Structure 1
Amino acid sequence: MSLPNNDPRPPYQLAANRLRAEITSGHLKPGDRLPSSRELRDTLGIANATVHAALRVLRDEGLIYSVHGRGNYVADPKQHPTVDPIGELASEWAGEFTLDYTPPAWYTQYKESAQADHVKAGPPPPVTVDQTASLAEILLGVREQLRHVTGEVVSLRQQIAGLEEKVSRLENPDVN
Protein backbone atom coordinates (compact mmCIF):
# COMPACT_ATOMS: atom_id res chain seq x y z
CA MET A 1 0.00 0.00 0.00
CA SER A 2 2.73 2.49 -0.96
CA LEU A 3 2.04 6.02 -2.14
CA PRO A 4 2.01 6.89 -5.87
CA ASN A 5 5.36 8.11 -7.21
CA ASN A 6 3.96 10.30 -9.99
CA ASP A 7 1.83 12.57 -7.78
CA PRO A 8 3.36 16.08 -7.42
CA ARG A 9 1.90 16.67 -3.94
CA PRO A 10 4.16 16.29 -0.89
CA PRO A 11 4.26 12.77 0.58
CA TYR A 12 2.76 13.85 3.91
CA GLN A 13 -0.35 15.13 2.07
CA LEU A 14 -0.63 11.87 0.15
CA ALA A 15 -0.35 9.88 3.39
CA ALA A 16 -2.92 12.12 5.09
CA ASN A 17 -5.26 11.69 2.10
CA ARG A 18 -4.88 7.90 2.27
CA LEU A 19 -5.70 7.80 5.99
CA ARG A 20 -8.50 10.34 5.56
CA ALA A 21 -10.07 8.13 2.87
CA GLU A 22 -9.97 5.12 5.21
CA ILE A 23 -11.67 7.16 7.93
CA THR A 24 -14.35 8.75 5.75
CA SER A 25 -15.11 5.45 3.99
CA GLY A 26 -15.81 3.83 7.35
CA HIS A 27 -12.93 1.36 7.09
CA LEU A 28 -11.58 3.01 10.25
CA LYS A 29 -14.40 3.83 12.66
CA PRO A 30 -14.49 6.29 15.59
CA GLY A 31 -12.44 4.90 18.46
CA ASP A 32 -10.35 2.62 16.24
CA ARG A 33 -6.62 2.81 16.82
CA LEU A 34 -4.58 3.80 13.78
CA PRO A 35 -1.56 1.70 12.88
CA SER A 36 1.61 2.74 14.70
CA SER A 37 4.00 5.24 13.15
CA ARG A 38 6.40 2.39 12.37
CA GLU A 39 3.65 0.37 10.69
CA LEU A 40 2.54 3.40 8.63
CA ARG A 41 6.14 4.14 7.69
CA ASP A 42 6.71 0.59 6.49
CA THR A 43 3.31 0.23 4.81
CA LEU A 44 3.35 3.57 2.98
CA GLY A 45 7.08 3.59 2.29
CA ILE A 46 7.69 7.03 3.78
CA ALA A 47 9.96 8.54 6.41
CA ASN A 48 9.00 8.75 10.07
CA ALA A 49 8.87 12.56 9.95
CA THR A 50 6.49 12.33 6.98
CA VAL A 51 4.20 10.02 8.98
CA HIS A 52 4.16 12.49 11.87
CA ALA A 53 3.39 15.39 9.50
CA ALA A 54 0.46 13.44 7.98
CA LEU A 55 -0.90 12.61 11.45
CA ARG A 56 -0.57 16.27 12.45
CA VAL A 57 -2.71 17.27 9.46
CA LEU A 58 -5.42 14.78 10.46
CA ARG A 59 -5.20 15.88 14.10
CA ASP A 60 -5.57 19.53 13.07
CA GLU A 61 -8.62 18.59 11.01
CA GLY A 62 -10.17 16.87 14.02
CA LEU A 63 -10.26 13.44 12.35
CA ILE A 64 -7.93 11.80 14.86
CA TYR A 65 -6.70 12.40 18.38
CA SER A 66 -3.58 11.21 20.16
CA VAL A 67 -3.15 9.59 23.53
CA HIS A 68 0.43 9.95 24.74
CA GLY A 69 2.12 6.57 24.94
CA ARG A 70 -0.92 4.78 23.49
CA GLY A 71 -1.25 5.91 19.88
CA ASN A 72 -3.58 7.73 17.53
CA TYR A 73 -7.31 7.07 17.39
CA VAL A 74 -10.11 7.97 15.01
CA ALA A 75 -12.13 10.80 16.52
CA ASP A 76 -15.87 10.68 16.88
CA PRO A 77 -17.19 13.77 15.09
CA LYS A 78 -20.06 13.97 17.60
CA GLN A 79 -17.69 14.07 20.58
CA HIS A 80 -14.80 15.94 18.94
CA PRO A 81 -16.24 18.61 16.65
CA THR A 82 -13.79 20.29 14.34
CA VAL A 83 -12.39 23.39 15.97
CA ASP A 84 -11.60 26.54 14.01
CA PRO A 85 -9.06 28.30 16.27
CA ILE A 86 -8.73 31.32 13.99
CA GLY A 87 -12.49 31.77 13.91
CA GLU A 88 -12.63 31.48 17.70
CA LEU A 89 -9.91 34.11 18.15
CA ALA A 90 -11.57 36.40 15.63
CA SER A 91 -14.86 36.20 17.50
CA GLU A 92 -13.10 36.85 20.83
CA TRP A 93 -11.26 39.85 19.41
CA ALA A 94 -14.25 41.21 17.52
CA GLY A 95 -14.90 43.72 20.28
CA GLU A 96 -12.63 46.56 21.23
CA PHE A 97 -9.38 45.42 22.79
CA THR A 98 -8.60 47.30 25.98
CA LEU A 99 -5.77 47.05 28.42
CA ASP A 100 -6.10 48.25 31.98
CA TYR A 101 -2.58 49.47 32.75
CA THR A 102 -1.35 52.25 34.96
CA PRO A 103 2.36 53.04 34.73
CA PRO A 104 4.28 53.12 38.02
CA ALA A 105 4.65 56.45 39.78
CA TRP A 106 8.42 56.65 39.24
CA TYR A 107 7.91 56.35 35.48
CA THR A 108 5.18 59.01 35.42
CA GLN A 109 7.38 61.40 37.44
CA TYR A 110 10.37 60.75 35.19
CA LYS A 111 8.33 61.28 32.05
CA GLU A 112 6.88 64.55 33.36
CA SER A 113 10.31 65.86 34.37
CA ALA A 114 11.82 64.83 31.04
CA GLN A 115 9.04 66.66 29.21
CA ALA A 116 9.58 69.74 31.38
CA ASP A 117 13.33 69.63 30.65
CA HIS A 118 12.61 69.33 26.94
CA VAL A 119 10.27 72.34 27.06
CA LYS A 120 12.90 74.40 28.95
CA ALA A 121 15.62 73.49 26.48
CA GLY A 122 13.42 74.30 23.53
CA PRO A 123 13.79 72.84 20.10
CA PRO A 124 17.27 72.55 18.66
CA PRO A 125 18.31 75.50 16.56
CA PRO A 126 17.29 75.02 12.96
CA VAL A 127 19.90 74.30 10.36
CA THR A 128 19.84 77.09 7.88
CA VAL A 129 21.65 76.80 4.63
CA ASP A 130 22.42 79.96 2.83
CA GLN A 131 22.54 79.47 -0.90
CA THR A 132 25.71 81.51 -0.99
CA ALA A 133 27.30 79.77 2.01
CA SER A 134 30.57 78.08 1.45
CA LEU A 135 31.19 74.45 2.19
CA ALA A 136 33.18 75.46 5.28
CA GLU A 137 30.24 77.45 6.66
CA ILE A 138 27.86 74.55 6.04
CA LEU A 139 30.24 72.19 7.84
CA LEU A 140 30.44 74.60 10.78
CA GLY A 141 26.62 74.61 10.98
CA VAL A 142 26.50 70.81 10.91
CA ARG A 143 29.23 70.65 13.57
CA GLU A 144 27.18 72.96 15.81
CA GLN A 145 24.15 70.72 15.39
CA LEU A 146 26.26 67.67 16.30
CA ARG A 147 27.52 69.43 19.44
CA HIS A 148 23.93 70.14 20.44
CA VAL A 149 22.84 66.54 19.84
CA THR A 150 25.93 65.21 21.62
CA GLY A 151 25.08 67.38 24.62
CA GLU A 152 21.58 65.93 24.69
CA VAL A 153 23.00 62.40 24.49
CA VAL A 154 25.36 63.09 27.40
CA SER A 155 22.46 64.52 29.40
CA LEU A 156 20.33 61.46 28.69
CA ARG A 157 23.18 59.14 29.68
CA GLN A 158 23.54 61.00 32.97
CA GLN A 159 19.81 60.71 33.61
CA ILE A 160 19.92 56.97 32.85
CA ALA A 161 22.89 56.50 35.19
CA GLY A 162 21.01 58.36 37.91
CA LEU A 163 17.92 56.20 37.40
CA GLU A 164 19.99 53.02 37.43
CA GLU A 165 21.56 54.12 40.70
CA LYS A 166 18.12 54.80 42.21
CA VAL A 167 16.80 51.42 41.05
CA SER A 168 19.89 49.72 42.47
CA ARG A 169 19.32 51.42 45.83
CA LEU A 170 15.65 50.40 45.80
CA GLU A 171 16.49 46.81 44.94
CA ASN A 172 19.33 46.53 47.46
CA PRO A 173 18.50 48.76 50.45
CA ASP A 174 20.96 46.89 52.74
CA VAL A 175 24.00 47.74 50.60
CA ASN A 176 23.76 51.51 51.25
Structure 2
Amino acid sequence: MSPAPENKQDRRPPYQHAADELRRDILQGRIKRGEQMPAIRELQERFGVANMTIRSALNVLREEGLVYTIHGRGSFVADHDGGDEFSAVYTPPAWYLVKDDKKPSQAEQAEGRPDDAEAAGATLAEMLTALRDEIRALSADHQELRREVEELKAAQQAKPQP
Protein backbone atom coordinates (compact mmCIF):
# COMPACT_ATOMS: atom_id res chain seq x y z
CA MET A 1 0.00 0.00 0.00
CA SER A 2 2.89 2.26 -0.69
CA PRO A 3 3.64 4.52 -3.64
CA ALA A 4 5.88 3.45 -6.51
CA PRO A 5 9.41 2.70 -5.33
CA GLU A 6 12.07 5.33 -5.81
CA ASN A 7 14.51 2.56 -6.74
CA LYS A 8 15.95 3.47 -10.15
CA GLN A 9 16.64 -0.20 -10.91
CA ASP A 10 12.92 -0.90 -11.10
CA ARG A 11 12.46 -0.27 -14.82
CA ARG A 12 8.85 -1.34 -15.00
CA PRO A 13 6.45 1.29 -16.29
CA PRO A 14 4.39 2.92 -13.52
CA TYR A 15 1.16 1.28 -14.70
CA GLN A 16 2.80 -2.15 -14.45
CA HIS A 17 4.04 -1.43 -10.94
CA ALA A 18 0.52 -0.36 -9.90
CA ALA A 19 -0.99 -3.46 -11.54
CA ASP A 20 1.52 -5.69 -9.73
CA GLU A 21 0.72 -4.11 -6.35
CA LEU A 22 -3.04 -4.36 -6.91
CA ARG A 23 -2.67 -7.96 -8.11
CA ARG A 24 -0.73 -8.75 -4.93
CA ASP A 25 -3.50 -7.17 -2.82
CA ILE A 26 -6.09 -9.35 -4.58
CA LEU A 27 -4.03 -12.55 -4.40
CA GLN A 28 -3.27 -12.03 -0.72
CA GLY A 29 -6.93 -11.38 0.05
CA ARG A 30 -6.63 -7.73 1.07
CA ILE A 31 -9.24 -7.00 -1.60
CA LYS A 32 -11.74 -9.87 -1.63
CA ARG A 33 -13.63 -11.29 -4.59
CA GLY A 34 -16.78 -9.37 -5.42
CA GLU A 35 -15.46 -6.36 -3.51
CA GLN A 36 -15.20 -3.02 -5.25
CA MET A 37 -11.70 -1.80 -6.05
CA PRO A 38 -10.66 1.54 -4.56
CA ALA A 39 -11.66 4.60 -6.59
CA ILE A 40 -9.31 5.76 -9.34
CA ARG A 41 -8.61 8.99 -7.47
CA GLU A 42 -7.67 7.03 -4.37
CA LEU A 43 -5.35 4.80 -6.40
CA GLN A 44 -3.81 7.88 -8.04
CA GLU A 45 -2.92 9.22 -4.61
CA ARG A 46 -1.66 5.85 -3.39
CA PHE A 47 0.74 5.35 -6.30
CA GLY A 48 1.44 9.02 -7.08
CA VAL A 49 0.55 8.64 -10.74
CA ALA A 50 -1.87 10.06 -13.30
CA ASN A 51 -5.44 8.98 -14.00
CA MET A 52 -4.54 7.19 -17.26
CA THR A 53 -1.74 5.28 -15.52
CA ILE A 54 -4.24 3.78 -13.06
CA ARG A 55 -6.67 3.06 -15.90
CA SER A 56 -3.88 1.19 -17.71
CA ALA A 57 -3.13 -0.81 -14.56
CA LEU A 58 -6.81 -1.76 -14.23
CA ASN A 59 -6.84 -2.75 -17.93
CA VAL A 60 -3.98 -5.17 -17.26
CA LEU A 61 -5.89 -6.74 -14.37
CA ARG A 62 -9.08 -6.84 -16.45
CA GLU A 63 -7.28 -8.67 -19.28
CA GLU A 64 -5.96 -11.18 -16.75
CA GLY A 65 -9.52 -11.77 -15.51
CA LEU A 66 -8.82 -10.55 -11.97
CA VAL A 67 -11.19 -7.56 -12.16
CA TYR A 68 -14.14 -6.40 -14.20
CA THR A 69 -15.50 -2.91 -14.66
CA ILE A 70 -19.07 -1.72 -14.81
CA HIS A 71 -19.39 1.66 -16.49
CA GLY A 72 -20.49 4.27 -14.00
CA ARG A 73 -20.07 1.92 -11.04
CA GLY A 74 -16.36 1.08 -10.84
CA SER A 75 -14.11 -1.96 -10.90
CA PHE A 76 -14.70 -5.12 -8.89
CA VAL A 77 -12.61 -8.17 -8.08
CA ALA A 78 -13.82 -11.01 -10.28
CA ASP A 79 -15.22 -14.30 -9.01
CA HIS A 80 -12.93 -17.18 -9.75
CA ASP A 81 -12.92 -20.94 -9.91
CA GLY A 82 -11.21 -23.33 -7.56
CA GLY A 83 -11.29 -22.67 -3.85
CA ASP A 84 -11.87 -19.63 -1.74
CA GLU A 85 -8.80 -17.65 -2.73
CA PHE A 86 -6.79 -16.98 -5.86
CA SER A 87 -3.51 -18.81 -6.14
CA ALA A 88 -0.76 -16.88 -4.39
CA VAL A 89 1.65 -17.97 -7.12
CA TYR A 90 1.29 -15.59 -10.04
CA THR A 91 2.63 -16.19 -13.52
CA PRO A 92 2.13 -13.54 -16.18
CA PRO A 93 -0.22 -14.41 -19.03
CA ALA A 94 1.34 -15.71 -22.23
CA TRP A 95 0.33 -12.63 -24.23
CA TYR A 96 2.46 -10.51 -21.89
CA LEU A 97 5.54 -12.64 -22.50
CA VAL A 98 5.23 -12.57 -26.31
CA LYS A 99 6.88 -9.65 -28.07
CA ASP A 100 4.61 -7.62 -30.35
CA ASP A 101 6.89 -8.16 -33.37
CA LYS A 102 6.12 -11.91 -33.20
CA LYS A 103 2.37 -11.41 -33.56
CA PRO A 104 1.02 -11.70 -37.11
CA SER A 105 -0.20 -8.46 -38.64
CA GLN A 106 -3.80 -8.02 -39.74
CA ALA A 107 -2.67 -8.34 -43.36
CA GLU A 108 -0.96 -11.66 -42.58
CA GLN A 109 -4.07 -12.89 -40.82
CA ALA A 110 -6.26 -11.87 -43.78
CA GLU A 111 -4.02 -13.82 -46.19
CA GLY A 112 -4.67 -17.05 -44.27
CA ARG A 113 -7.59 -19.18 -45.39
CA PRO A 114 -10.78 -18.65 -43.40
CA ASP A 115 -11.92 -21.63 -41.39
CA ASP A 116 -15.61 -21.98 -40.56
CA ALA A 117 -14.83 -23.85 -37.33
CA GLU A 118 -12.53 -21.05 -36.19
CA ALA A 119 -15.17 -18.43 -37.03
CA ALA A 120 -17.82 -20.38 -35.13
CA GLY A 121 -15.44 -20.76 -32.18
CA ALA A 122 -14.73 -17.04 -32.19
CA THR A 123 -18.46 -16.25 -32.28
CA LEU A 124 -19.13 -18.66 -29.43
CA ALA A 125 -16.28 -17.16 -27.41
CA GLU A 126 -17.71 -13.67 -27.97
CA MET A 127 -21.14 -14.83 -26.84
CA LEU A 128 -19.71 -16.47 -23.74
CA THR A 129 -17.73 -13.35 -22.93
CA ALA A 130 -20.84 -11.20 -23.28
CA LEU A 131 -22.82 -13.58 -21.03
CA ARG A 132 -20.04 -13.60 -18.44
CA ASP A 133 -20.01 -9.79 -18.42
CA GLU A 134 -23.79 -9.69 -17.98
CA ILE A 135 -23.62 -12.14 -15.08
CA ARG A 136 -20.90 -10.08 -13.44
CA ALA A 137 -22.95 -6.91 -13.86
CA LEU A 138 -25.98 -8.62 -12.32
CA SER A 139 -23.82 -9.92 -9.48
CA ALA A 140 -22.54 -6.41 -8.78
CA ASP A 141 -26.13 -5.07 -8.83
CA HIS A 142 -27.17 -7.84 -6.44
CA GLN A 143 -24.35 -6.98 -4.03
CA GLU A 144 -25.26 -3.30 -4.18
CA LEU A 145 -28.90 -4.09 -3.37
CA ARG A 146 -27.83 -6.27 -0.44
CA ARG A 147 -25.72 -3.41 0.92
CA GLU A 148 -28.66 -1.01 0.58
CA VAL A 149 -30.97 -3.44 2.41
CA GLU A 150 -28.43 -3.81 5.22
CA GLU A 151 -28.12 -0.02 5.49
CA LEU A 152 -31.91 0.38 5.62
CA LYS A 153 -32.17 -2.30 8.32
CA ALA A 154 -29.45 -0.61 10.36
CA ALA A 155 -31.11 2.78 9.97
CA GLN A 156 -34.48 1.38 11.02
CA GLN A 157 -32.98 -0.31 14.09
CA ALA A 158 -31.23 2.92 15.04
CA LYS A 159 -34.52 4.87 15.10
CA PRO A 160 -35.92 5.30 18.62
CA GLN A 161 -39.15 3.40 19.24
CA PRO A 162 -42.13 5.64 20.35
Q: Report the TM-score when normalising by structure 2.
A: 0.49
More contact order relative to length (CA 8 Å, sep ≥ 6): 2
Rg comparison, structure with higher value: 1
TM-score of the aligned structures, taking structure 1 as reference length: 0.45
